[in-house]
Structure 1
Amino acid sequence: MLLEELLRCQIQEWYPAFRRHSIPTVIIPLPVAFLRYLAGQVAYPSPNADADGGSDEEPLPFLLPAITSGRQPFAPIHAHHPDPVSLLSSDSELFFGSSAEEVHDPDADHPHRPEFPDLEAAVDAAIAELGGAALPKLNWSAPKDATFMSADGTARCTCFAEVAMLLRASDCVAHDLTSARKSCEDFPRPEGARRNAQKEVSAGTEEGARPIAIEADGSRGIDDAPSDSRVIGEEGSKTNAADFDSKDGASEEESDGDTWVDDGFQYYLALRKWYPGLRPESEFRCFVRERKLIAASQRDASAYYPSLPGWSSEVQPKIEAFFEDVIEPQFGSNNYTFDVYVRNDGRVKLIDFNPWGGYTLPLLFTWEELEEEGRGHELEFRVVMQQGAVRPGLMTAVPYDILDWGKGSGWDVFLKKADEELNRQMNSPDGDS
């Protein structure tokens, strides 16, 4: 994967050219202070931080920014984890109220709790422009892995506080900030890649929080999308993101894999109109090699949809026509993937672009299959054909140690001890009490 190919897949790069065929989106440049916050650093470091031994760079607890608008997120998040049962008590100091005045916030006076009033105002205004709810993402990635933090298990956000919480909790977003550019084979190691950079923003200001790209009509977008109960699947497709060298140009080895968020590379927050009724079986990932559409896969490879095997024969020519008429003439890379949503009436909407290879998931294919010589003469379209053919996803994953049930393993010892304890309790005089 080349750096140029990765940069082309940033949403602020491709969206202006494809906005007519995509989802209404507002794109907001992010200030350096907010990037520091997302990376778990002090947003506004002390000028004497270096002289003090770098205390400002120590890991911080999970803190939400101070909210100036008074719009609290779906639930207060705290650095510590109280007993869930205690939250049910009416006299508990922590409880979930219906307004900001009802929520006790023990982190209110934390010395490193930042506030971003300009960015907060821009985000709240953009969400209102998009109809009151939006899905957030950075240049490449959305916080799909952090939806456990939300009240409804989705990435739907209605205010800045919810956006900040999901972004801060997401490993995908952290990967955007620290890990992807170095995965490019032509990434300039010594001095860092500064492409797509803007003038460095002072850590003590919020300059650059003004929206730069707005699809004005928030009531349209995916063109009267079907009313079901699922958000479009852009967010899970991108574990690829951006990465930063240290400010003084330290090598990858010297930085031990961690990079500085203040190298001049500009990051953006994209807020995409939320549609509650999009169907996951209508999402597809398409693979382009040497500017030819060679393969397509259902986007949700971990589920079987009974209607999809029959419908795919109708979908395939529509996707091919969309590629030939819309994508291929305008997108500059030779090798890439793109995600689309196909409506019931056959219209195709562009969801996202991803680079070829790297951390992009091949779904029902393997990268070895997709790179075979001779592939591309005819589009290969894959969907899950029967219930037993689904590929496991995160919802069915288990820790590696659970797979180790051999003699002498941790689980073997645990189960033996549990069995011994059960027998002891059953055979004790008080076993029936």
Structure 2
Amino acid sequence: MKEEEVNRCQIQEWYPKFKSVSIKTLIHRLPESFVHYLVDDSGPFLVPVSVFNEDALPNRIHNPHEEEDYQVSEGGSEDESEQPSLPPPSFPELELEIKESIKELGGAVFPKLNWSAPKDSCWMSTTGTLRCTSFTEIALLLRSSDSLTHDLCHAYDSCTDKTSSRPPSFFLALRKWYPSLRPDMEFRCFVKGQNLVGICQREVTTFYPPLLENKCNLRVLIRKFFVEHVKHRFESQDYTFDVYVTRDERVKIVDFNPWGGFTLPLLFGWDELEKKVTSEEEEEEEEGGVEFRIVESQCGVRPGLKTAVPYDYLDTSPGSGWDQFLRNAEGELRKQTQSSEAGAGA
């Protein structure tokens, strides 16, 4: 994997070219002061002060007598006078820009940086989702996320030509919030040599029966979309992209990701994807060339791998904790499958 391949997957790089077939998004360049705020772990966790008095947790019960002030002292003696508490951070210009963008996008957005969204910090939200209606809510999710450490500090760790640990600039993408999006209609597509070689459902921790009936139609829709809107327009030879299929069968690009590295292969394995070779002639055949995998029964559900670290940081070598976990999961799946087959044959 090369740095240029990783850079092409930054949302501020690909979105302008594909905005007509993607989710409406507004992008802001982040000031270095805000980037420093996100990565700084030397002091207490402080949510920025809002110039509009917007609380990141509006439904909380505010009791100042139960909140401790973080204070810094020169020495460790209790007799020494304590220094004033640190002032909370404030980013008024950025907050104003974001407030205007949220209004333009209908009042609610979900945030992401150059590559990643703070999915691991959803629990901090009052809704348990990435839905945000204010700058302070966005700042809270970004500051609470461990997975964003990848974007901020380790973006190029998988690159063979790594020259830097981070891009020169960071961007905040605000994407229009759609409350009715269905997780079963999001799919990951794998492209090798500019040919589509695999498709699978994005949410592999759940069995969705309607996908069994719509599998062939979805394969045709996604393959046609790739040929007409993505193939030869995205400059990398090998990459993945995620799409969402609407109720009226329109396909929307959700994201682009590098081939391998920290990108999850989901229902495939990177070893088998590397061996796949699909010609343009095969792509033109409705059923040929592109393998489409879905969870076809409750027994096929995969354990969630939302670990808040990039995929290539996981130690899955023989004897590791993840190796044993996956072996146990596969063994349990075989037992369930054998039990189901035995019951069907009785």
Q: What TM-score, normalized to structure 1?
A: 0.63
Whether 2:267 is the aligned partner of 1:364: answer yes
Deviation readout 1:14-53 (Å, 9 max, x if unpaired)? 1111111011101000000000000025xxxxxxxxxxxx
> What residue number does 1:281 align with?
184
> What residue number does 1:210 align with?
none
- The question of whether the paired residues in 2 share the 8 Å contact of 1:38 and 1:174 is answered with no
> What residue number does 2:136 align with?
161
Q: What is the alpha-carbon distance in structure 1 between the residues aligned to residue 230 and residue 301 of structure 2?
A: 29
Q: Could you tell me how far 1:69 is from its partner in structure 2?
A: 1.0
> What residue number does 1:152 align with?
127
Q: Could you tell me how far 1:311 is from its partner in structure 2?
A: 0.8
Q: Could you tell me how far 1:110 is from its partner in structure 2?
A: 3.8
Q: What is the alpha-carbon distance in structure 2 between the residues aligned to residue 374 and residue 330 of structure 1?
A: 20
Q: Could you tell me how far 1:396 is from its partner in structure 2?
A: 11
> What residue number does 1:63 align with?
46
Q: Secondary structure at the match of 1:351?
A: strand
Code of the aligned partner of 2:44: P
Match of 1:267 among 167, 170, 173: 170
Q: Could you tell me how far 1:93 is from its partner in structure 2?
A: 3.0
Classify 1:387/1:373 alpha carbon distance in 2 versus 1 (closer, same or farther; 3 Å). Answer: closer
Q: Could you tell me how far 1:182 is from its partner in structure 2?
A: 2.8
Q: What TM-score, normalized to structure 2?
A: 0.79
Where does the alignment leave 5 or more consecutive residues of structure 2 unmatched? 72-83, 283-288, 309-320, 326-346
Code of the aligned partner of 1:333: S
Q: Could you tell me how far 1:375 is from its partner in structure 2?
A: 5.3
Q: Could you tell me how far 1:392 is from its partner in structure 2?
A: 0.4
Larger Rg: 1 or 2?
1
Whether 2:218 is the aligned partner of 1:315: answer yes
> What residue number does 1:382 align with?
293
Q: Give the 4+ runs in structure 1 shifted more than 2 A.
A: 74-77, 90-94, 104-110, 373-377, 394-397
Q: Secondary structure at the match of 1:93?
A: helix
RMSD of aligned Cα (Å): 2.7
> What residue number does 1:74 align with?
57
Question: After superposition, where does 1:2-401 map in structure 2 within 5 Å?
Answer: 2-40=2-40, 59-74=42-57, 93-94=65-66, 106=69, 110-188=85-163, 192=164, 243-244=165-166, 265-372=168-275, 374=277, 377=282, 378-394=289-305
Classify 1:183/1:75 alpha carbon distance in 2 versus 1 (closer, same or farther; 3 Å). Answer: farther
Q: What is the alpha-carbon distance in structure 1 between the residues aligned to residue 181 and residue 20 of structure 2?
A: 18
Q: What is the alpha-carbon distance in structure 1 between the residues aligned to residue 101 and residue 222 of structure 2?
A: 31
Classify 1:107/1:71 alpha carbon distance in 2 versus 1 (closer, same or farther; 3 Å). Answer: farther
Q: Secondary structure at the match of 2:168?
A: coil
Code of the aligned partner of 1:388: C
Q: Could you tell me how far 1:91 is from its partner in structure 2?
A: 7.1
Q: Could you tell me how far 1:301 is from its partner in structure 2?
A: 0.8
- The question of whether the paired residues in 1 share the 8 Å contact of 2:197 and 2:276 is answered with no
Where does the alignment leave 5 or more consecutive residues of structure 1 unmatched? 42-58, 78-86, 95-103, 193-242, 245-263, 405-433
Q: Could you tell me how far 1:282 is from its partner in structure 2?
A: 0.4
Classify 1:373/1:329 alpha carbon distance in 2 versus 1 (closer, same or farther; 3 Å). Answer: closer
Q: Identify the structure with the greater helix proportion.
A: 2
When the two structures are aligned, how many residues end up with a matched partner?
293
Q: What is the alpha-carbon distance in structure 1 between the residues aligned to residue 276 and residue 207 of structure 2?
A: 30
